[in-house]
Copies of this chain bind each other. A is one copy, B any other.
Amino acid sequence: MLTLYTNPFSTPALATLLTAFSTETKFDNIVVDLLKQQQRMPDFLAVNPHGKVPALKDGDFTLSESTTIMRYIARKAKSDLYPTDIKDAALVDQWMDFIAHHIRTPFSHVQFGRMFAPMFGQKPNEAAIQNGLNQLQNNLPFIEDRLEKQKYVCGDTLTLADILLVASLDPRDAIKLDLSLFPATTGMLKTAQQSDWYKATHAHLTKDTEA
**Docked CA distance A97–B63 (Å):** 11
By a CB distance below 8 angstroms, the chain B residues around A72 are: 86-87, 90, 93
**Which of under 10, 10 to 19, 20 to 34, or 35 or more describes the interface residues of A?**
20 to 34
With A50-B142, A98-B50 already in contact, the answer to whether A89 and B75 are too (CB < 8 A) is yes
- Structural contact, B49 and A94, CB atoms closer than 8 A: no
By a CB distance below 8 angstroms, the chain B residues around A71 are: 89-90, 93
What does the 1/0 interface line of A40-79 toward B look like (CB < 8 Å)? 0000000001100000000001011101100110011000
**Docked CA distance A49–B139 (Å):** 11
- Structural contact, A64 and B94, CB atoms closer than 8 A: yes
**Docked CA distance A71–B88 (Å):** 12
- Structural contact, B94 and A65, CB atoms closer than 8 A: yes
**Docked CA distance A67–B97 (Å):** 8
A50 to chain B: closest residue by CB? B142
> In whole Å, how far is A1's beta carbon from the nearest beta carbon of chain B?
16
> In whole Å, how far is A195's beta carbon from the nearest beta carbon of chain B?
25
A105 to chain B: closest residue by CB? B101
